[in-house]
Amino acid sequence: MRGAWLAIATPVASVLLFFILNACFPFPATLLKGPPPSPRLMAADESDLQIQLAPDDQWRKPVPLDQISPTLIEATIAVEDQRFRQHMGIDPLAILRAAKQNALSGQTISGASTITMQLVKLLSGNRRRTLGNKALEAFRSLQLERIWTKDQILERYLNIAPYVGNHQGIESASMALFGKHALDLSQAEAYLLAGLPQSPTRFAPARHPEKALWRRHNVLHAAVQTRTLDAASAQRLTETELTLNKAQRPNAAFHFSRMAFTQRPAGGITTLDPVLQERCEELMRRRATALPAGCDIALVAIEIETGAVRALIGSLDPSDPIDGQVNGATAWRSPGSALKPFLYAAAFEAHLASPESLVEDSAMELAGWTPQNFDGDFQGRVTVTEALRRSLNIPAMRLARQAGLSRCIGVLESAGVHFRPGTAQAAGLALATGAAEVRLIDLTNAYATLGRNGQHKPWVLLEDEIDRDSPGAQVLSASTCEDLHTILSTRQRFVNAKPDARHFCWKTGTSSGFRDAWAIGHDEKYAIGIWVGHFSGTANPAFVGSRAATPLLTDAFLIH
């Protein structure tokens, strides 16, 4: 009678004790978060751009359970915890079996850790193997099984278990060893990987191939025992040779990715269109052969509707140890005449001029400085349209003086152009010739503002920062933008332009001393900016916007 009472009281007391302890010491919420994944940047189509080490110097790429090979899942259960689907976090039968084996051998030769207990150990930082820690792991495992489903536990375990080197999680390990996703593993590969977490260093396939294959044999044997694999198939897989094939870590759109990681160190889905990016990169490489040796090219393509940066090239060769590290999209450079449309916009907005207005192109003096046109000649009285199309300096300065320097700077800044503090004011009317440096990405975005009929949106690199509901801030009138479109459009500027051709409006820029060549414009879908030059500032007579940059811009509008 007493034995029967103990048989009933013991489990009841154990359950009661568990609930008391569970109430007093709940499962730590911080452990449920798990270790951070490797920061990962993705293109707009969610393909990988770049992956970086996690803060603890581990590679992790978590994937949902349905993106993991079913063979690997079953093999893991077979070799690590055959009763995983049945127990509640601890396996009493496994504990008894391990105790018997260890007692008979006189040493610890078998453990009784379940997958849940191993997960708790991983989440808590791999404490030392002591009796007290084992008891705590068992208690936490019982708690965890009440919080998560079996599939959730299994998914988390497979995503943080150590497999090889500093690759944690099956997806990272699969890519590191076989160059393929965890879902695409062959049977032979899956059974090999399933055995590695027991000792990632000892069974490392690249360093210890014989031990890795021996461990795979153990996994196959366990699978046969659990009847998830027949003996004939196990024998065939034992004889299957494996070829290691480490995947190259993604390293696309170098300068774009660096900018995006700076904005969001944890990574995320970016605005980059990988197809457009690849086409632009190929175009730049092909066109570079016709440019001076050693020069560099930068490109920015901004989607007008959203402000999303869909392509960005900071330099031709990011691997170059010197110039490759410079991002031409964000470098401060002299824009030459590329700012002129906005000076005319300031005059249009103030009702001081229209496209048909006449403006004087003759010598003028500014505090001892006598500015010149690019060709050193004067045209007399010309229309605003002709002055802007021919990029005459004097008419632009005259209109800018009438509109007022502050108004001109205000138009530029409201459209998206940024200047270094005080430089625009210091440049004065020489702003029309590029005397104040700007960044390609900002100036391209200002042309996107023109393409949006005067509505300004900030450029964005991350998809979740796109504000599709807001039309943007109206900083220029639609009529001003339409006038500029008409003046600068290929439809009006190209002789024999075909009505059904893809037209765009654009403006070139050439900095003083031929150090920078620019071409920027929009076709109502994209605003695209091109810069050509030397990052060192070395001059070259070839660096003229119309000759060095415009051909690239024309091709860029044709490939999207």
Are 158 and 286 found together in one domain? no
Residues with Cβ within 8 Å of 412's Cβ and at least 6 positions away in sequence, in order, are 339, 342, 419, 424, 446
Sign of CA dihedral 406, 411, 414, 417: negative
Residues with Cβ within 8 Å of 504's Cβ and at least 6 positions away in sequence, in order, are 489, 490, 521, 522, 523, 557
Are 324 and 455 found together in one domain? yes
* Helix (H), strand (E) at residue 380: strand 380-383
* Strand-pair partners of 192: none
Burial class (CB in 10 A: 0-12, 13-18, 19+), 141: buried
Instruction: Give the domain CATH number at 378.
Output: 3.40.710.10
Are 312 and 450 found together in one domain? yes
In a domain, 19, yes or no: no
The pair of three-digit structure tokens given for residue 381, joined into one six-digit string: 């009285």
Are 183 and 60 found together in one domain? yes
Are 405 and 447 found together in one domain? no
Are 486 and 445 found together in one domain? yes
**Cα–Cα distance, 195 to 239 (Å, whole number):** 17
- Per-residue pLDDT band at 401 (split at 50, 70, 90): very high
Q: Is there a contact between 341 and 416 (Cβ–Cβ < 8 Å)?
A: no
**Cα–Cα distance, 456 to 453 (Å, whole number):** 9
Are 153 and 210 found together in one domain? yes
Which pLDDT score, from 0 to 100, does residue 99 have? 54
* 3-state DSSP assignment of residue 375: coil
Of 436, 462, 477, at which residue does a domain stop? Answer: 436
Which pLDDT score, from 0 to 100, does residue 109 have? 44
**Cα–Cα distance, 455 to 444 (Å, whole number):** 14
Instruction: Give the domain CATH number at 142.
Output: 1.10.3810.10
Are 316 and 447 found together in one domain? yes
Are 362 and 393 found together in one domain? yes
Q: Is there a contact between 530 and 556 (Cβ–Cβ < 8 Å)?
A: yes
Tracing tokens 């192109």 back to the chain, one arrives at 361
- Report pLDDT digits (tens) over 216-270: 999 999 999 999 999 999 999 999 988 998 888 888 999 999 999 999 999 999 9
DSSP string covering 291-324: S-TT-EEEEEEEETTT-BEEEEES-S-TTSSSGG
Angle subtended at Cα 124 by Cα 120 and Cα 128, rounded to the nearest 5 degrees: 95
**Cα–Cα distance, 463 to 467 (Å, whole number):** 9
- Domain count within the chain: 3
Per DSSP, 228 falls in state: S
Are 385 and 408 found together in one domain? yes
Are 128 and 68 found together in one domain? yes
Tracing tokens 């990632």 back to the chain, one arrives at 200
- Report pLDDT digits (tens) over 163-182: 999 999 999 999 999 999 99
**Cα–Cα distance, 106 to 138 (Å, whole number):** 24
| Residue 337 annotated among the catalytic residues of the structure | yes
> Nearest-CA neighbor of 411 among 346, 347, 456?
346
DSSP string covering 93-114: HHHHHHHHHHHHHTS-------
In a domain, 49, yes or no: no
**Cα–Cα distance, 529 to 302 (Å, whole number):** 9
Of 403, 436, 469, at which residue does a domain stop? Answer: 436
The pair of three-digit structure tokens given for residue 15, joined into one six-digit string: 């359950």
Other CB atoms within a 10 A radius of the CB of residue 452 amount to 24
Q: How far is CA 275 from CA 218, 247, 559, in A?
A: 46, 21, 10
In a domain, 409, yes or no: yes
Q: Is there a contact between 188 and 181 (Cβ–Cβ < 8 Å)?
A: no
Are 146 and 162 found together in one domain? yes
- Report pLDDT digits (tens) over 195-230: 999 999 999 999 999 999 999 999 999 999 999 999
Q: How far is CA 304 from CA 447, 450, 521, in A?
A: 9, 9, 11
* Helix (H), strand (E) at residue 439: strand 438-439
In a domain, 43, yes or no: no
Instruction: Tell me the mean pLDDT in the region 507-535.
Output: 96
**Cα–Cα distance, 94 to 430 (Å, whole number):** 83
In a domain, 246, yes or no: no
In a domain, 7, yes or no: no
- Report pLDDT digits (tens) over 99-132: 555 555 554 544 578 999 999 999 987 666 777 7
Q: Is there a contact between 211 and 219 (Cβ–Cβ < 8 Å)?
A: no
- Residue numbers of the domain that contains 388: 339-436
> Where does 50-184 have alpha helices with state H?
70-80, 92-105, 115-123, 131-147, 150-160, 170-178
Of 418, 436, 454, at which residue does a domain stop? Answer: 436
Residues with Cβ within 8 Å of 178's Cβ and at least 6 positions away in sequence, in order, are 185, 189, 242, 244, 245, 247
> Nearest-CA neighbor of 300 among 465, 438, 493?
438
Tracing tokens 């084996």 back to the chain, one arrives at 101
- Per-residue pLDDT band at 374 (split at 50, 70, 90): confident
**Cα–Cα distance, 560 to 555 (Å, whole number):** 9
The pair of three-digit structure tokens given for residue 130, joined into one six-digit string: 């002591």
Which of 80, 171, 303, 349 is catalytic? The answer is: 80
In a domain, 373, yes or no: yes
The rounded percent of the chain whose pLDDT value lies above 90 is 74
Which of 257, 334, 337, 511 is catalytic? The answer is: 337
Q: Please give the order of strands across the beta sheet that includes 167-168.
A: 59-60, 167-168, 162-164
- Per-residue pLDDT band at 4 (split at 50, 70, 90): low
**Cα–Cα distance, 465 to 306 (Å, whole number):** 10
Residue 279 has pLDDT above 70, yes or no: yes
Other CB atoms within a 10 A radius of the CB of residue 18 amount to 14
Residue 348 has pLDDT above 70, yes or no: yes
Other CB atoms within a 10 A radius of the CB of residue 57 amount to 8
| Residue 511 annotated among the catalytic residues of the structure | no
Mean pLDDT score of the chain: 90
Angle subtended at Cα 82 by Cα 76 and Cα 85, rounded to the nearest 5 degrees: 95
Most confident range, picked from 99-103, 290-294, 296-300: 296-300
In a domain, 379, yes or no: yes
Higher-scoring residue by pLDDT: 370, 62: 62
